[in-house]
Structure 1
């Protein structure tokens, strides 16, 4: 019995936080009292969870795509640094025809040396790119319970505009499906 109550409570939380459904409707749908729903809201601080829902899947995807774009732009626009030996970067003492000493840097062509940092991803860059793209793929392909609730909600709203009676019946089936899915 305790598992069933926890499933009801979790489902109520999704309805309250994600779907902004009233306490009264949640109580009616789950066949519990409004007082029980109110108690859950207060105990688990669901009001603050509503605020944190600003971090939605779409917002996360947008942020990850921006990070990936920024990293790729930084790599593309990064100045090329050649791996010139440090002794060639120091001036050397020379004497002119009068015997006076002066300092002069050796004449070098940087392109004669290998690229130290260039317009290609370093192993660190590649690791970050891999992690970002992996996160994007995961967010784009996985379906969580919140998304299932959202699809069910949109379907019910569409059907409600055409057939209220059937929408009410479908709501019961969707609630049952979501409850079963949450048990797994």
Structure 2
């Protein structure tokens, strides 16, 4: 049975996100034009999705610190000497620093939840009664971490 365009688009997205194949290779494999694949990718924001899926916390934070460094490096006078940063520069650094702080909070709670979900899935397989009995305490722990990190 031939794939529909919807099926091809979904498969193309999967190949784009989960392999290192080029758009040209994906288009050839699915027997669609490169223009069609490019349209799907642009309309769906595939590059952004792939970047978000592959970006790690340390990479994101390093990039943000690099932005701060670039702002500081540009704070020089006409003679190339360091100068006091202007309001725009200090506000930009403040916003980036806040982003780093918020990113730490968000990713930390995500990490807690991911680990707990994995643990509870495993526990339900090996000791269902125990898993059920501790679930209220686990929920309480997650709630307390959420409040702490919010």
Higher radius of gyration, 1 or 2:
1
Q: Which has the higher strand share?
A: 1
TM-score range, shorter chain: 0.3 to 0.5
Q: Which has the higher contact order (CA 8 A, sep 6+)?
A: 1
Q: Which has the higher helix share?
A: 2
